[in-house]
Amino acid sequence: MANTIVSEQDIQKFRAETAGTAQKIHFNNAGSSLPPDVVVDTVINYLKEEAVSGGYETEFKYKDELENTYGLIARLINAKPNEIAIVENASTAWSSAFYAIDFKAGDEVITSEMEYVTNLIAFANAEKRSGISIKVIPNDPQGNFPLTDLEKAITPQTKLIAVTQIPSTAGGMIPIVEIGKIARKHNILYLVDACQSAGQLPLDVAEIGCDMLSVTGRKYLRAPRGTGFLYVRKEIQSQLRPIFMDGYTADLLNQHEFKIRDDARRFELYENNRALVLGLGKAVEYALNIGVDKIWERIQFLANLLRQQLKAIEGITIHDFGAEQCGIVTFSVNGVDSTLVKSKLAEKNINVSVGKTASTLIYMDKNHLSSIVRASVHYYNTEEEVWVLCRELGALVK
């Protein structure tokens, strides 16, 4: 059944506004999407103006547009502008939130098997430095996150629930709204890694009930690399202590005293790339103008089509589990190393990526996977591109 939410005319318009679609079949959107031309032009034009007018002078000229980026991000996730910090990437956003929590020896963090490598390293670090313990809630045999097991795992020592909604090397999803209800019920801090989610599906932090949410720009938001943001719920900002501070983060009252600012920008430092911030804002605006609900509908359609086509190819195994799945499709080609699959497809101008064990260690080890091929679709991809990918994969297994 053809997708009816985004028309064929819409798709051709999006592709005409994205120079890269004329060069490559790009199924590495979970790595870094092809940006719209308007995003590229925004960044380049700002840099050119900086070069002739001066960095501070150009920043002053565009201060309203830079400030508007916070409002656009707030609209994207149903937050307030003063709950948004703009940072370099999702790892910076997530780590800024996690390390700002005042952990004590004996505190517990509950997570899932789908956590990303950066987060797992932070957990291990906090175990060693602060004496906390980590509880992992495995998915059930069908690949679904068991909410009853989460509730049973909660104790008076549970300080934080931290989950990644969409993992790096799997097509399944974690039920972050339902987890949020449990976190609120028990008054536990709740941190969501939405690195692969933002720009792919609708996010509403009020509905999710999270205290903190981390995002990158380069993936489904189609923003430049080196962009991201952190949401911190206003009511809990004062509980968190930033690990890095400067004169933008805090006011120096005297030689020995300072006062941290009272909004989410306490997690920013003054110096950043203003051109990229404007590019991030333009990318968010582009997504909002389409409608993230429409984007999600289109991505689900293409991902389902790809999975159906792959299932029909003998010698290909799909590794996606769970009742709800996303635009990341993971698979392996029997007898062919994933890196070689990627290389062979690249020769045909098709971009995919390879997911390694370390990226999602607990999940990959549990399922005895050393590497997988990851094809991640976006709304600007076409049905024809899906068929071309499957045709080339079919040739690899013959």
Q: Do domains 8-31+291-396 and 41-289 have the same CATH topology?
A: no
Amino acid type, 119: N
The pTM score is: 0.95
Q: What pLDDT does 171 receive? A: 95
Range with the lowest mean pLDDT among 94-108, 213-227, 360-374?
A: 360-374
SS3 of the chain: helix, strand, coil, percent, to 5:
45, 20, 35
- Sort strands 371-376 and 328-333 into parallel, antiparallel or unpaired: antiparallel
| Second-level CATH architecture of 41-289 | 3-Layer(aba) Sandwich (3.40)
Break the chain into its structural domains and give their ranges: 8-31+291-396, 41-289
On whether the CB atoms of residues 80 and 206 are closer than 8 A, the answer is no
Domain 8-31+291-396 indexed as CATH 3.90.1150.10: yes
Gap between the Cα atoms of 350 and 359, Å rounded: 22
- 260-314 pLDDT tens trace: 999 999 999 999 999 999 999 999 999 999 999 999 999 999 999 999 999 999 9
Pairing mode, strands 328-333 and 350-351: unpaired
Q: Look at residue 195 and tell me whether its pLDDT is greater than 60.
A: yes
pLDDT tens, residue by residue, 46-98: 999 999 999 999 999 999 999 999 999 999 999 999 999 999 999 999 999 99
pLDDT score, position 273: 97
**pLDDT surpassing 60 at residue 4:** no
Q: Is the pLDDT of residue 1 over 60?
A: no
Pairing label, strands 353-356, 371-376: antiparallel
pLDDT at 219 over 80: yes
Give the rounded percent of residues in the chain with a pLDDT score beyond 90: 96
- pLDDT greater than 70 at residue 10: yes
pLDDT of residue 161: 98
